[in-house]
A = this chain, B = another copy of it.
């Protein structure tokens, strides 16, 4: 593993936001890999169809040796709490987790509260990846609007807790905090 001299390693909690195919996962992985291995990869993806299966496989293939993968499509807070203190962790991604919570008809505000508490209590370094989805035209269907609202509030809550917030544009980080 090469070192990343330009990536600060001091942040306990980092939120990495970005659009579709913005390079946010890759950037977040580099942030985690700036710490000593092994690294914990907390995956929230659930493969409902071939398109998702292909994306998950691509993400797994790209990760080098040193990663331990844990699946947490719903109990993300639990997975964060169970991690060994000080183990560098990546959560990829919050918007898929939120989708899973909504599809399972769980109580979203309660789940967000629980996640926020787990992130606040984590020793870190913990890097959270999420899709920014609120900068397009208002969606036609009510479910998409509710998803957008929940995602926006989730991001605000975690950004307030984070030491570092990045918006990835074309693979490059804009520092928001």
A interface residues with partner B (beta carbon < 8 Å): 15, 17-23, 51, 132-139, 142, 144-145, 147-149, 151-153, 155-156, 158-160, 165, 167, 169-172, 174, 176-177
Contacts and interface: CB of A to CB of B under 8 A. Distances in A.
Top 7 closest A-B pairs, CB basis?
A136-B136, A21-B152, A19-B134, A159-B170, A20-B134, A135-B135, A156-B171
A167 B174 contact: yes
17 contacts: A17-B169, A19-B133, A20-B134, A21-B148, A21-B156, A22-B156, A23-B152, A133-B136, A133-B137, A134-B136, A135-B135, A135-B136, A137-B139, A137-B148, A152-B170, A155-B170, A159-B172
A138 B20 contact: yes
Contact of A20 (B15, B149, B174): B149
Copies of this subunit: 3
Nearest to A152: B21
Given A17-B170, A158-B170, 10 more contacts: A20-B138, A21-B148, A21-B156, A23-B152, A134-B135, A137-B139, A155-B170, A156-B170, A159-B169, A174-B176
A144 B140 CA distance: 10
A150 B24 CA distance: 15
Nearest to A144: B137
Which has the most chain B C-beta neighbours within 10 Å: A23, A170, A176?
A170
Nearest to A166: B169
